[in-house]
Amino acid sequence: MTHRPGRRIFRRAALAAAAILSTIGMSQAQTVLLNVSYDPTRELYRDINKAFNDKLVADRKKPIAVRNSHGGSGAQARAVIDGLDADVVTLALSADIDAIAQRSQRIPANWQSRLPNKSTPFSSTIVFLVRAGNPKAIRDWDDLARPGVQVVTPNPKTSGGARWNYLAAWGFGLKKFGGDEAKVREFVGAIYKNAPTLDTGARGSTVSFAQRGVGDVLIAWENEAYLADLEFGKGKFDIVTPSISIRAETPVSIVDANVDRKGTRELAEAYLRFLWSDQAQAIAARHYYRPARPEAAAKGDLARFATLELLSIDDDFGGWAKAQATHFGDKAIFDQIYSPSR
Protein backbone atom coordinates (compact mmCIF):
# COMPACT_ATOMS: atom_id res chain seq x y z
CA MET A 1 0.00 0.00 0.00
CA THR A 2 2.26 2.75 -1.22
CA HIS A 3 -0.48 4.78 -2.83
CA ARG A 4 -1.86 7.15 -0.19
CA PRO A 5 -3.67 10.02 -1.89
CA GLY A 6 -4.80 11.57 1.40
CA ARG A 7 -1.26 12.10 2.54
CA ARG A 8 -0.19 13.53 -0.79
CA ILE A 9 -3.00 16.07 -0.79
CA PHE A 10 -2.01 17.08 2.71
CA ARG A 11 1.58 17.59 1.67
CA ARG A 12 0.52 19.69 -1.32
CA ALA A 13 -1.72 21.81 0.84
CA ALA A 14 1.10 22.39 3.28
CA LEU A 15 3.41 23.40 0.43
CA ALA A 16 0.82 25.79 -0.95
CA ALA A 17 0.28 27.31 2.47
CA ALA A 18 4.01 27.77 2.91
CA ALA A 19 4.25 29.42 -0.49
CA ILE A 20 1.42 31.81 0.33
CA LEU A 21 2.91 32.63 3.73
CA SER A 22 6.31 33.32 2.25
CA THR A 23 4.87 35.74 -0.33
CA ILE A 24 3.00 37.53 2.42
CA GLY A 25 6.24 37.71 4.40
CA MET A 26 8.05 39.09 1.39
CA SER A 27 5.47 41.72 0.62
CA GLN A 28 5.53 42.82 4.24
CA ALA A 29 9.27 43.28 4.16
CA GLN A 30 8.89 45.43 1.05
CA THR A 31 8.10 49.09 1.58
CA VAL A 32 4.97 50.27 -0.14
CA LEU A 33 4.46 53.80 -1.41
CA LEU A 34 0.96 54.91 -2.33
CA ASN A 35 0.81 57.46 -5.15
CA VAL A 36 -2.65 59.02 -5.39
CA SER A 37 -3.01 60.48 -8.87
CA TYR A 38 -5.65 61.60 -11.36
CA ASP A 39 -7.18 59.77 -14.28
CA PRO A 40 -5.03 59.86 -17.42
CA THR A 41 -1.67 59.20 -15.70
CA ARG A 42 -2.05 55.41 -15.44
CA GLU A 43 0.32 54.56 -18.28
CA LEU A 44 2.77 57.31 -17.34
CA TYR A 45 3.26 56.25 -13.73
CA ARG A 46 3.42 52.58 -14.62
CA ASP A 47 6.59 53.38 -16.58
CA ILE A 48 7.97 55.83 -14.03
CA ASN A 49 7.46 53.42 -11.13
CA LYS A 50 9.38 50.75 -12.99
CA ALA A 51 12.20 53.16 -13.78
CA PHE A 52 12.33 54.25 -10.12
CA ASN A 53 12.72 50.65 -8.97
CA ASP A 54 15.39 50.02 -11.59
CA LYS A 55 17.27 52.97 -10.18
CA LEU A 56 16.92 51.68 -6.60
CA VAL A 57 18.30 48.31 -7.68
CA ALA A 58 21.15 50.00 -9.55
CA ASP A 59 21.97 51.94 -6.37
CA ARG A 60 22.01 48.60 -4.49
CA LYS A 61 18.91 49.50 -2.51
CA LYS A 62 15.89 47.33 -1.88
CA PRO A 63 13.21 47.74 -4.55
CA ILE A 64 9.87 49.01 -3.29
CA ALA A 65 6.29 48.56 -4.41
CA VAL A 66 4.64 51.73 -5.66
CA ARG A 67 0.89 51.36 -5.68
CA ASN A 68 -1.02 53.85 -7.79
CA SER A 69 -4.56 55.03 -7.30
CA HIS A 70 -6.33 56.86 -10.13
CA GLY A 71 -9.59 58.74 -10.33
CA GLY A 72 -11.03 62.19 -10.82
CA SER A 73 -8.60 64.69 -9.32
CA GLY A 74 -11.15 66.25 -6.94
CA ALA A 75 -12.44 62.88 -5.77
CA GLN A 76 -8.87 61.74 -5.12
CA ALA A 77 -8.18 64.88 -3.06
CA ARG A 78 -11.34 64.23 -1.03
CA ALA A 79 -10.23 60.65 -0.41
CA VAL A 80 -6.91 61.90 1.00
CA ILE A 81 -8.72 64.49 3.15
CA ASP A 82 -11.01 61.75 4.44
CA GLY A 83 -8.01 59.63 5.45
CA LEU A 84 -6.67 57.72 2.42
CA ASP A 85 -3.08 56.81 3.34
CA ALA A 86 -1.36 58.50 0.39
CA ASP A 87 2.41 58.99 0.63
CA VAL A 88 2.49 61.27 -2.40
CA VAL A 89 -0.23 63.05 -4.36
CA THR A 90 0.20 63.82 -8.07
CA LEU A 91 -2.97 65.66 -9.06
CA ALA A 92 -4.41 67.55 -12.01
CA LEU A 93 -4.30 71.02 -10.46
CA SER A 94 -2.74 72.74 -7.49
CA ALA A 95 -6.19 73.71 -6.15
CA ASP A 96 -6.81 70.08 -5.23
CA ILE A 97 -3.54 69.81 -3.28
CA ASP A 98 -4.32 73.20 -1.69
CA ALA A 99 -7.62 71.72 -0.56
CA ILE A 100 -5.80 68.85 1.17
CA ALA A 101 -3.46 71.33 2.85
CA GLN A 102 -6.31 73.53 4.04
CA ARG A 103 -8.87 70.97 5.05
CA SER A 104 -6.76 68.20 6.55
CA GLN A 105 -3.53 70.04 7.44
CA ARG A 106 -1.68 66.90 6.31
CA ILE A 107 0.40 69.05 3.95
CA PRO A 108 1.90 72.44 4.92
CA ALA A 109 0.47 75.47 3.11
CA ASN A 110 3.80 76.28 1.44
CA TRP A 111 3.99 72.85 -0.29
CA GLN A 112 4.29 74.26 -3.77
CA SER A 113 7.60 76.02 -3.03
CA ARG A 114 9.34 72.86 -1.80
CA LEU A 115 10.19 71.46 -5.22
CA PRO A 116 11.43 73.10 -8.44
CA ASN A 117 9.05 74.56 -11.08
CA LYS A 118 6.31 75.19 -8.50
CA SER A 119 6.37 71.44 -7.78
CA THR A 120 5.37 70.68 -11.37
CA PRO A 121 7.69 68.08 -12.97
CA PHE A 122 5.77 68.05 -16.23
CA SER A 123 2.74 69.85 -17.57
CA SER A 124 0.35 69.57 -20.43
CA THR A 125 -1.83 71.91 -22.39
CA ILE A 126 -5.27 71.95 -23.93
CA VAL A 127 -5.76 71.15 -27.62
CA PHE A 128 -8.59 70.04 -29.93
CA LEU A 129 -9.22 66.62 -31.36
CA VAL A 130 -11.37 66.68 -34.51
CA ARG A 131 -12.66 64.05 -36.94
CA ALA A 132 -10.23 63.07 -39.70
CA GLY A 133 -9.92 65.72 -42.40
CA ASN A 134 -11.43 68.33 -40.05
CA PRO A 135 -14.81 68.48 -41.85
CA LYS A 136 -16.04 71.44 -39.76
CA ALA A 137 -12.82 73.39 -40.42
CA ILE A 138 -12.02 73.99 -36.76
CA ARG A 139 -8.84 76.02 -36.35
CA ASP A 140 -9.19 78.01 -33.17
CA TRP A 141 -11.42 78.71 -30.17
CA ASP A 142 -13.81 80.97 -32.18
CA ASP A 143 -14.79 77.99 -34.28
CA LEU A 144 -16.09 76.20 -31.18
CA ALA A 145 -18.60 78.99 -30.54
CA ARG A 146 -20.00 78.78 -34.08
CA PRO A 147 -23.59 77.56 -34.30
CA GLY A 148 -23.81 74.00 -35.57
CA VAL A 149 -20.50 72.84 -34.11
CA GLN A 150 -20.87 70.24 -31.38
CA VAL A 151 -18.25 70.49 -28.66
CA VAL A 152 -17.40 67.62 -26.31
CA THR A 153 -15.86 68.60 -22.97
CA PRO A 154 -16.29 67.34 -19.41
CA ASN A 155 -18.13 69.20 -16.68
CA PRO A 156 -15.81 71.75 -14.99
CA LYS A 157 -17.75 71.23 -11.78
CA THR A 158 -16.67 67.59 -11.54
CA SER A 159 -13.47 67.40 -13.59
CA GLY A 160 -10.14 69.10 -12.99
CA GLY A 161 -9.15 68.77 -16.64
CA ALA A 162 -12.36 70.47 -17.71
CA ARG A 163 -11.45 73.54 -15.67
CA TRP A 164 -8.27 73.92 -17.73
CA ASN A 165 -10.39 73.65 -20.91
CA TYR A 166 -12.71 76.35 -19.71
CA LEU A 167 -9.92 78.69 -18.63
CA ALA A 168 -8.08 78.26 -21.93
CA ALA A 169 -11.24 79.29 -23.78
CA TRP A 170 -11.68 82.21 -21.36
CA GLY A 171 -8.08 83.31 -21.94
CA PHE A 172 -8.61 83.29 -25.70
CA GLY A 173 -11.79 85.33 -25.26
CA LEU A 174 -9.99 87.90 -23.09
CA LYS A 175 -7.41 88.46 -25.84
CA LYS A 176 -9.98 88.53 -28.63
CA PHE A 177 -12.35 90.96 -26.98
CA GLY A 178 -9.63 93.07 -25.38
CA GLY A 179 -10.72 92.24 -21.83
CA ASP A 180 -14.43 93.05 -22.29
CA GLU A 181 -15.76 90.59 -19.73
CA ALA A 182 -19.39 90.64 -20.83
CA LYS A 183 -18.34 89.59 -24.33
CA VAL A 184 -16.00 86.91 -22.99
CA ARG A 185 -18.85 85.46 -20.94
CA GLU A 186 -21.06 85.34 -23.99
CA PHE A 187 -18.28 83.72 -26.01
CA VAL A 188 -17.50 80.99 -23.45
CA GLY A 189 -21.25 80.52 -22.93
CA ALA A 190 -21.70 79.92 -26.66
CA ILE A 191 -19.03 77.19 -26.55
CA TYR A 192 -20.73 75.42 -23.65
CA LYS A 193 -24.15 75.73 -25.26
CA ASN A 194 -22.66 73.77 -28.16
CA ALA A 195 -21.94 70.86 -25.81
CA PRO A 196 -24.42 67.99 -26.25
CA THR A 197 -23.08 66.21 -23.16
CA LEU A 198 -20.96 67.09 -20.15
CA ASP A 199 -19.24 63.96 -18.90
CA THR A 200 -18.04 63.87 -15.30
CA GLY A 201 -14.40 63.17 -16.19
CA ALA A 202 -11.85 63.72 -18.96
CA ARG A 203 -11.73 60.03 -19.87
CA GLY A 204 -15.51 59.94 -20.18
CA SER A 205 -15.43 62.78 -22.70
CA THR A 206 -12.68 61.12 -24.70
CA VAL A 207 -14.75 57.94 -24.89
CA SER A 208 -17.90 59.88 -25.86
CA PHE A 209 -16.05 61.59 -28.70
CA ALA A 210 -13.77 58.84 -29.93
CA GLN A 211 -15.86 55.73 -29.36
CA ARG A 212 -19.47 56.90 -29.34
CA GLY A 213 -19.12 59.30 -32.25
CA VAL A 214 -20.55 62.27 -30.32
CA GLY A 215 -19.65 65.80 -31.44
CA ASP A 216 -17.32 67.48 -33.92
CA VAL A 217 -14.52 68.48 -31.59
CA LEU A 218 -13.13 67.26 -28.27
CA ILE A 219 -11.38 69.75 -26.00
CA ALA A 220 -8.74 67.63 -24.35
CA TRP A 221 -5.44 67.43 -22.55
CA GLU A 222 -2.69 67.28 -25.13
CA ASN A 223 -1.47 63.94 -23.79
CA GLU A 224 -5.02 62.56 -23.79
CA ALA A 225 -5.55 63.72 -27.40
CA TYR A 226 -2.44 61.86 -28.56
CA LEU A 227 -3.45 58.82 -26.52
CA ALA A 228 -6.93 58.79 -28.10
CA ASP A 229 -5.25 58.98 -31.47
CA LEU A 230 -3.17 55.90 -30.65
CA GLU A 231 -5.85 53.98 -28.78
CA PHE A 232 -8.91 54.48 -30.96
CA GLY A 233 -7.27 54.23 -34.35
CA LYS A 234 -4.63 56.20 -36.20
CA GLY A 235 -6.03 58.36 -38.96
CA LYS A 236 -9.53 58.66 -37.48
CA PHE A 237 -8.79 61.99 -35.82
CA ASP A 238 -6.69 65.10 -36.36
CA ILE A 239 -5.15 67.12 -33.57
CA VAL A 240 -5.70 70.87 -33.94
CA THR A 241 -3.60 73.25 -31.86
CA PRO A 242 -5.32 76.56 -31.11
CA SER A 243 -3.44 79.86 -31.23
CA ILE A 244 -3.68 80.32 -27.46
CA SER A 245 -3.95 77.72 -24.74
CA ILE A 246 -3.06 77.32 -21.11
CA ARG A 247 -0.13 75.65 -19.38
CA ALA A 248 -1.97 72.92 -17.48
CA GLU A 249 0.28 72.47 -14.47
CA THR A 250 -0.12 69.16 -12.69
CA PRO A 251 1.82 69.45 -9.44
CA VAL A 252 3.03 66.88 -6.93
CA SER A 253 3.60 66.78 -3.17
CA ILE A 254 4.33 64.39 -0.38
CA VAL A 255 1.62 64.09 2.26
CA ASP A 256 3.69 65.03 5.30
CA ALA A 257 1.44 63.72 8.07
CA ASN A 258 1.10 60.34 6.35
CA VAL A 259 4.78 59.77 5.52
CA ASP A 260 5.85 60.79 9.02
CA ARG A 261 3.44 58.35 10.60
CA LYS A 262 4.46 55.54 8.25
CA GLY A 263 8.15 56.38 8.30
CA THR A 264 8.35 56.65 4.51
CA ARG A 265 9.33 60.32 4.21
CA GLU A 266 12.81 59.64 2.84
CA LEU A 267 11.56 57.28 0.14
CA ALA A 268 8.61 59.46 -0.80
CA GLU A 269 10.87 62.48 -1.20
CA ALA A 270 13.29 60.45 -3.29
CA TYR A 271 10.38 59.28 -5.44
CA LEU A 272 9.22 62.83 -6.12
CA ARG A 273 12.76 64.07 -6.77
CA PHE A 274 13.11 61.21 -9.24
CA LEU A 275 10.32 62.80 -11.32
CA TRP A 276 12.83 65.52 -12.27
CA SER A 277 15.54 62.99 -13.20
CA ASP A 278 16.63 62.51 -16.80
CA GLN A 279 14.91 59.13 -17.01
CA ALA A 280 11.54 60.29 -15.67
CA GLN A 281 11.57 63.48 -17.76
CA ALA A 282 12.24 61.42 -20.89
CA ILE A 283 9.43 59.02 -19.97
CA ALA A 284 7.04 61.93 -19.45
CA ALA A 285 7.87 63.38 -22.86
CA ARG A 286 7.35 59.97 -24.42
CA HIS A 287 3.86 59.94 -22.87
CA TYR A 288 3.15 63.37 -24.39
CA TYR A 289 3.61 65.39 -21.21
CA ARG A 290 5.68 68.56 -21.62
CA PRO A 291 8.72 68.04 -19.36
CA ALA A 292 10.01 70.76 -17.02
CA ARG A 293 13.54 69.93 -18.19
CA PRO A 294 13.18 69.49 -21.96
CA GLU A 295 16.95 68.98 -22.29
CA ALA A 296 16.53 65.55 -20.69
CA ALA A 297 13.92 64.34 -23.17
CA ALA A 298 14.42 62.79 -26.59
CA LYS A 299 14.49 65.33 -29.45
CA GLY A 300 11.94 63.33 -31.44
CA ASP A 301 9.46 63.35 -28.55
CA LEU A 302 9.78 67.11 -28.08
CA ALA A 303 9.32 67.78 -31.79
CA ARG A 304 5.76 66.45 -31.54
CA PHE A 305 4.69 69.39 -29.37
CA ALA A 306 3.38 72.36 -31.33
CA THR A 307 4.57 75.80 -30.23
CA LEU A 308 1.77 78.07 -29.12
CA GLU A 309 1.12 80.87 -26.69
CA LEU A 310 0.54 79.36 -23.25
CA LEU A 311 -1.26 81.29 -20.54
CA SER A 312 -0.39 80.72 -16.91
CA ILE A 313 -2.86 80.16 -14.12
CA ASP A 314 -0.86 82.37 -11.77
CA ASP A 315 -0.01 85.27 -14.09
CA ASP A 316 -3.18 85.42 -16.20
CA PHE A 317 -5.85 84.25 -13.78
CA GLY A 318 -4.45 85.30 -10.40
CA GLY A 319 -3.91 81.75 -9.14
CA TRP A 320 -6.27 78.82 -8.61
CA ALA A 321 -7.97 80.13 -5.49
CA LYS A 322 -9.20 83.19 -7.36
CA ALA A 323 -10.04 81.37 -10.60
CA GLN A 324 -11.97 78.72 -8.67
CA ALA A 325 -14.06 81.28 -6.81
CA THR A 326 -14.86 83.52 -9.80
CA HIS A 327 -15.53 80.78 -12.34
CA PHE A 328 -16.40 77.47 -10.74
CA GLY A 329 -17.86 78.28 -7.32
CA ASP A 330 -21.53 77.80 -6.51
CA LYS A 331 -23.54 80.19 -8.76
CA ALA A 332 -20.29 81.63 -10.18
CA ILE A 333 -19.74 82.35 -13.87
CA PHE A 334 -19.90 78.76 -15.09
CA ASP A 335 -23.24 78.15 -13.35
CA GLN A 336 -24.60 81.38 -14.81
CA ILE A 337 -23.94 80.14 -18.36
CA TYR A 338 -26.71 77.61 -17.94
CA SER A 339 -29.16 79.57 -15.85
CA PRO A 340 -32.10 80.59 -18.02
CA SER A 341 -31.36 84.31 -18.36
CA ARG A 342 -34.24 86.73 -18.77
Partner 1 sequence: MAFSFRRKSAIPGFGLALGYTIAYLGLIVLLPLAALVLRAAEVGPGGLYALVTDPRVLGALRTSFGLALLAAATNAVFGMIVAWVLVRYRFPGRGLVDAAVDLPFALPTAVAGIALAALYAPNGWIGSLFEPYGIRIAFTPLGIYIALVFIGLPFIVRTVQPVIAECDREIEEASATLGANRWQTVFRVILPPLTPALLTGFALAFARGVGEYGSIIFIAGNIPYISEIAPLLIVIKLEEYDYAGATAIATVMLVVAFAILLAINLVQAWSRRRLGHA
Of 23, 30, 105, 211, the one binding partner 1 (CB under 8 A) is 211
Quick one: which segment of 38-46, 63-71, 176-184, 326-334 binds partner 1 (CB under 8 A)? Answer: 326-334
Would you call 253 exposed, middle or buried from its count of C-beta atoms within 10 A (0-12, 13-18, 19+)?
buried
Residue/partner pairs of 143-148 with CB below 8 Å, 24 or more apart: 143/217, 144/169, 144/191, 144/194, 144/217, 144/219, 145/187, 145/190, 145/191, 145/194, 146/194, 147/194
79 binds partner 1 (CB under 8 A): no
**Least distance (Å) between residue 323 CB and partner 1:** 14
Q: Contact with partner 1 (CB under 8 A): which of 63, 179, 196, 318?
A: 196
Among residues 41, 2, 29, 37, the alpha carbon closest in space to that of 284 is found at 41
- β-pairing, 122-131 vs 244-249, is antiparallel
Q: Is 336 in the site for partner 1 (CB under 8 A)?
A: no
Q: How far is the CB of 333 from partner 1 (least distance, A)?
A: 14
Residue 291 binds partner 1, judged by CB under 8 A: no
Contact call for residue 198 and partner 1 (CB under 8 A): yes
Q: Residues in the chain, how many?
A: 342
With CB under 8 A as the contact rule, the residue among 33, 99, 272, 280 that binds partner 1 is 99
Of 3-11, 40-48, 49-57, 212-220, which segment contacts partner 1 by CB under 8 A? 212-220
> What one-character DSSP code corresponds to residue 206?
H
Contact 269, 254 (CB under 8 A): yes
Give the binding site for partner 1 (CB under 8 A): 74-75, 78, 99, 103, 155, 157-158, 195-200, 204, 208, 211-214, 328-330, 335, 338-340
